[in-house]
Amino acid sequence: MRAILTYHSIDSSGSPVSIAEDAFRAHVRFLASGRVRVVPLADITSPGAEEDAVALTFDDAFLNFADIAAPLLADSGLPATVFVVSDAVGGTNAWGGHEAPGIPTLPLMHWDDLSAIAVAGIEIGAHTRCHADLSSLSGSRLEDETAGCAERIAAVLGVRPARFAYPYGAVNDDVARVARDVFVDSCTTELRPLSDDEDRALLPRLDAFYFREPGQLEDWGSPAFRRRVWLRAQGRRVKALMAAGGKGR
C-alpha cells in the first residue's frame, strides 16, 4: 500500500487536528522500523516507487512541529513535508482572527523556525496565504492565495515550494487547474491510499487522527487497516451529504 499521511498539531487536546506526543512517538518508532518505507512526498507518485511506501505531511506549520516532530524525524532520518500558511507565519491557527470550535488555538512556527527545519532537510510546502477556502475564490484572489503564497515563501526562504495542500481539502475544477499550474503536487483530504495513476493535483491522504490509538498505524496495509480507512471515508461522505442537505434548507 502506498499512501500519504496527514498530521497537523502534536498536542494533548484530543481535537481532530491533534495527536498526542506519546502517540506520535509511537508512530515515529513504527515508521523508523523499516516495516514500511518512508519516502519524500516528491517520490511517492513516481513510477518506480515501491509498492509499500508512505510520505509524511504536516499541515499548518504548528510550532510543536519544530519542538517535538522535527527532532524525532531527524533522529530517525525520516523525510517530511510541512505546509505553511504564509501570512500566518509566527501567528496562530485562529485563521483570519477566528477561533474554530473544538480546535485549540496554538502558535505557528516563525520564519526562523521554518528556515531551520528546511536546512535540516524538511520540505517546505505551501498552504495558501490566509488558510482560505479556495473553492469560494476565483481570479486574482485565487492566484494570490496559491502563487502569491509560493512567492512569499520563496522570497523569505529562498526556495520556491513545489508542493501544496488545499485548506479544508476544499478544491473544485478551477482551483485544481490553478494549483496544477503553480505546483508539482497538491494534496487533498480525500481519505484513501494512492492508486497507480493519480492526478498529481488531487492527491488523496490518510489523516493520522484515525490511527492515533496504539497499534492502529502498525496495522499498515492489512485488511483491517484498509477497512478502517474505507469506513472512515464512508462516514465522512454521509456527514458531507448531511451538511449539504442542511445548507439547502
In angstroms, give the least distance from the CB of 165 to Zn ion: 7
Which residue among 11, 53, 59, 65 contacts Zn ion (CB under 5 A)? 59
In angstroms, give the least distance from the CB of 167 to Zn ion: 5
- Concatenate the DSSP letters of all residues of 140-157 into one string: HHHHHHHHHHHHHHHHHH
Candidate segments 40-48, 137-145, 164-172, 201-209, binder of Zn ion by CB under 5 A: 164-172
90 Cβ neighbours under 8 A, 6+ residues apart: 108, 109, 110, 111
Candidate segments 59-67, 74-82, 95-103, 116-124, binder of Zn ion by CB under 5 A: 59-67
Nearest position to Zn ion, beta carbon: 59
In angstroms, give the least distance from the CB of 193 to Zn ion: 21
The nearer residue to Zn ion, 36 or 191, going by C-beta atoms, is 191
49 Cβ neighbours under 8 A, 6+ residues apart: 2, 39, 43
Sort 74 into a burial class: Cβ within 10 Å, 0-12 / 13-18 / 19+. middle
The nearer residue to Zn ion, 110 or 226, going by C-beta atoms, is 110
In angstroms, give the least distance from the CB of 247 to Zn ion: 22
Q: Are 191 and 172 in contact (CB under 8 A)?
A: no
In angstroms, give the least distance from the CB of 17 to Zn ion: 8
The nearer residue to Zn ion, 17 or 73, going by C-beta atoms, is 17
- Concatenate the DSSP letters of all residues of 146-206 into one string: HHHHHHHHHHHHSS---EEE-GGG---HHHHHHHHHH-SEEEEEEES---SS--TTSEEEE
- Number of chain residues interacting with Zn ion (CB under 5 A): 3
60 counts as binding Zn ion under rule CB under 5 A: yes
In angstroms, give the least distance from the CB of 40 to Zn ion: 20
The nearer residue to Zn ion, 104 or 167, going by C-beta atoms, is 167
Sort 167 into a burial class: Cβ within 10 Å, 0-12 / 13-18 / 19+. buried
Q: Enter the C-alpha cell of residue 171.
A: 478544491
Hey, which bits of 13-52 come out as E strands? 18-19, 37-38
Q: x/- string (CB under 5 A) for Zn ion, residues 14-53? A: ----------------------------------------
Identity of the residue numbered 79: P
The nearer residue to Zn ion, 65 or 220, going by C-beta atoms, is 65
- Where does this chain bind Zn ion (CB under 5 A)? 59-60, 167
